[in-house]
Structure 1
Amino acid sequence: MLNQATDVSTGNATLDEILGGGLTGNRIYLLDGHPGTGKTTIGMQFLLDGLRRGEAGLYVSLSETKNELLAIAESHGWSLEGLEIYELVDPSGSLDADSQYTMFQPSEVELGETTRGMLQEVERLNPKRVVVDSLSELRLLAQNALRYRRQILALKQFFVGRDCTAIFLDDKTSPDNDLQLQSIAHGVVSLDRVPTEFGNERRRLRVIKYRGRRFVGGWHDFDIERGGVRIFPRIATATDPTPGAPRERLASGNDSIDRLLGEGIEAGTSTLMLGPAGVGKSSCATLFAHTACLRGERAVIFAFDETKRTLIARSAGLGMDLEKLEADGALEIHQVNPGDVTPGQFAEMVRQAVRPVEGRGRVSIVIIDSLNGYLSSMPEERFLQIQMHELLNYLANFGVATFLVVAQHGMLGSGMQTPVDASYLADTVILFRYFEAAGEIRQAVSVVKKRDGHHERSIRELRMADGNILVGQPLAEFHGILAGMPTFTGNPKNLMEKRDADAES
């Protein structure tokens, strides 16, 4: 009679979360992936977790030596003391003539000797957890699919009957897509490594199959770090409790901008700042973060396009001391390199940043500057909208107002293009434009969409001078500003006055 199956941890809390609580005990599982995807590391984490719980573990190595495994463990800062390691062949005698004769006898004998030695070691140690690395050796010895399947079925019955949880590693060296073990295993986790044209390669995993258990499907990014595998789950899988998100208006601290927006932005909504480079999008978004920090709340800025030093200096010129707010713990500025971060990693960064911290104000503003940089971290841009939709929903549950900055290609005229259309995702869309008037290049701003309330539909001039962000009167005497080809029929004196030294002189 088999013992009652209980949940067994993989040794990785995030993987347990994706698997819906861990592994069902007394079963066999398949962990497959090409060489270098982290199979051995995950297998070691699984066994070391068992040792910490007082459960004996066995690592059956059919391809790597014990010294190689010890070196892998040392690279992660682990000690394998107490963990049994069984090697297929003693490397000290692998080149002897007698040893060669034994290894290259007919495959039927080799397969039998290999499995017999492995099973004898399991019977001797009676472990609760076993990792077999890798099945490609058994597949080669079996030589045909029928013998291989029968061998795996026999191993399954053996391990299950011993109240043992086993993970089989497979390196996908078979020329065809071998599904023999996938049909036999209780659960299958697949690891993948995706090369990119620039920057770090992308590692990801997904659960292909798990009998009798509800798991989180889809690809989850991960990275191999010192100390093990760090997984960045899809943000839609987050199990953080949804706090009582307030529904309030968040003011910018600038009366003219707040009037344009209908007295501010609603908490838990998303705002798209759209316009050409240098028109004032980032500065206006930073103004909301600065004001939130002064109210005793917290704000987070993810800067893809400019350095932290440049952001702080530019904001200081407009009267916003971001350096002090950061020193006080009210503001977090994360400089993100698109070539070094995957979408999953970025989502985890956002998730960690907005989690409530005891004794500190809640995060009310998150700025992603810009969406162009975020797009650069996506290997396939057609998934950007889905990723962003999950992220915005997550932040909305926390009552966080999100500002998405998008730089359009081009500066003037009708040739400007938007790299990605995220306007349907945003609750509010603020459009920025350049226009020419009285021999100057000027800026204009308008709110073209706001789902959660009223807003002005006028187009107003925007100017940044004397440490202030100024919004002028509606540009009633202009036509075609938003189209990029304005026509002026009024008096230039009705425009905002210049605030520089030239005007004063």
Structure 2
Amino acid sequence: MLKQKKNIPPKKRTKKDISEKSIENNKSMVRITSGIGNLDKLIEGGIEKNSTNLLVGGSGSGKSIFGMQFLVEGLEKGEKCLYVTFEEKKGKFFRHMKRFGWDLEAYEKKGLFTFLEYTPVKVKTMLEEGGGTVESIIRKQKTSRMVIDSITSFALLFDKELAKREAALGLFNLIEKWEVTSILTLEGKPLTGTELNSRTLEFESDSIISLYFLRHKHLRKRFIEVLKMRGTNHSKEIYRFIIGNKGVTVANKPTENPLNK
């Protein structure tokens, strides 16, 4: 008599399984250059194409400049790029970026660059409608790079943690559907679960890069750390970076951990 085979449920994938699988597939991963001086050396040549990347840092840490520099890298190659902001005014932002030699108005006239002043409420509507204005721009212009600066204001619309998590998941799912390489900035410190539930963001984002702006004796210094990048054997050390005439440049050598001081 034949024995019946038992129905064995499929093994549930853990974060470790997903991470190991992504490392196996990293040879076939398509990467794009970040445009950030010396950063690509720390992340195996660049950021994964069509990935969603979280940039975390406090006020004045350089998040907006970092994000715009990432877009300029694409603009210089003829790519269509989109900057979505909840806080910046177009005229003021364009003037500030000129100090780095970035003529955003010229890119805009060429049809390469779109600056979209959005409100957190509109993003909420966008999630409800499944795309809205942002998706229309991306589809029409065939946008390849996008920055959303910042999702912190968006999080304030939700009082309950469950609603925040659902909104974060909805936003990440939309961005994945759009097939753009994106950077989302977040105000605050990573791994603390402040404005948005950090565990949701950490798990859903393809990478987390942290910018620190710390006081050391009588000066403030800037540091960068790649906390996570799927499918990438990235540097685990902390590096200093400066904001100069051409934007963000990461130091060639790592530094002592400033967080332990």
Which category describes the TM-score, using the shorter chain as reference length?
0.7 to 0.9
CA contact (8 A) 2:215 2:221 kept: yes
Aligned to 1:192: 212
1:62 and 2:86 equivalent?
yes
Q: Give 1:5 deviation, angstroms.
A: 5.2
Larger radius of gyration: 1
Letter in 2 for 1:157: N
1:158 and 2:174 equivalent?
yes
CA contact (8 A) 1:222 1:229 kept: yes
Aligned to 2:115: 85
Counterpart-to-counterpart distance in 1, 2:78 and 2:222: 32
CA contact (8 A) 2:34 2:40 kept: yes
1:51 and 2:75 equivalent?
yes
Aligned to 1:225: 244
Aligned to 1:111: 124
Aligned to 2:201: 181
Aligned to 1:215: 234
Counterpart-to-counterpart distance in 2, 1:125 and 1:151: 26
CA contact (8 A) 1:14 1:231 kept: yes
Counterpart-to-counterpart distance in 1, 2:96 and 2:123: 28
CA contact (8 A) 1:206 1:220 kept: yes
CA deviations 1:261-308 (Å, max 9, x no partner) are xxxxxxxxxxxxxxxxxxxxxxxxxxxxxxxxxxxxxxxxxxxxxxxx
Residue in structure 1 matching 2:222, options 203, 224, 232: 203
CA contact (8 A) 1:111 1:142 kept: no
The alpha-carbon distance between structure 1 residues 201 and 85, as it changes in their structure 2 partners (threshold 3 A), is: same
Letter in 1 for 2:237: G
SS, match of residue 243 in structure 2: strand
The alpha-carbon distance between structure 1 residues 54 and 110, as it changes in their structure 2 partners (threshold 3 A), is: closer
CA deviations 1:310-351 (Å, max 9, x no partner) are xxxxxxxxxxxxxxxxxxxxxxxxxxxxxxxxx58xxxxxxx
CA deviations 1:429-482 (Å, max 9, x no partner) are xxxxxxxxxxxxxxxxxxxxxxxxxxxxxxxxxxxxxxxxxxxxxxxxxxxxxx
**Sequence identity percentage:** 25
Aligned to 1:23: 47
The alpha-carbon distance between structure 1 residues 146 and 54, as it changes in their structure 2 partners (threshold 3 A), is: same
SS, match of residue 157 in structure 2: helix
Letter in 1 for 2:100: H
* CA-based RMSD: 2.8
Divergent runs of 4+, >4 A:
173-176
1:132 and 2:148 equivalent?
yes
CA deviations 1:207-252 (Å, max 9, x no partner) are 11111110001211011111101111435xxxxxxxxxxxxxxxxx
The alpha-carbon distance between structure 1 residues 212 and 191, as it changes in their structure 2 partners (threshold 3 A), is: same
Counterpart-to-counterpart distance in 2, 1:5 and 1:224: 30
SS, match of residue 63 in structure 1: coil
The alpha-carbon distance between structure 1 residues 157 and 111, as it changes in their structure 2 partners (threshold 3 A), is: closer
Letter in 2 for 1:121: I
Runs (5+) with no aligned partner, structure 2? 1-27, 108-112
Counterpart-to-counterpart distance in 2, 1:125 and 1:62: 21
Note the 1:6-405 alignment, pairs <5 A: 6-80=30-104, 81-82=106-107, 83-88=113-118, 111-112=124-125, 116-172=132-188, 176-177=193-194, 178-179=197-198, 180-198=200-218, 200-234=219-253
Q: Give 1:138 deviation, angstroms.
A: 1.3
Counterpart-to-counterpart distance in 2, 1:28 and 1:117: 19
Q: Give 1:110 deviation, angstroms.
A: 7.2
CA contact (8 A) 1:110 1:141 kept: no
Q: Give 1:73 deviation, angstroms.
A: 0.8
Runs (5+) with no aligned partner, structure 1? 90-102, 236-342, 345-377, 384-505
Q: How many equivalent pairs are there?
A: 221
Aligned to 2:6: none
Letter in 1 for 2:212: D
Q: Give 1:157 deviation, angstroms.
A: 2.5
The alpha-carbon distance between structure 1 residues 13 and 224, as it changes in their structure 2 partners (threshold 3 A), is: closer
CA contact (8 A) 2:138 2:178 kept: no
Q: Give 1:13 deviation, angstroms.
A: 4.0
Note the 1:347-496 alignment, pairs <5 A: none
Segment drifting more, 119-128 vs 20-29: 119-128
Aligned to 1:327: none
CA contact (8 A) 1:193 1:203 kept: yes
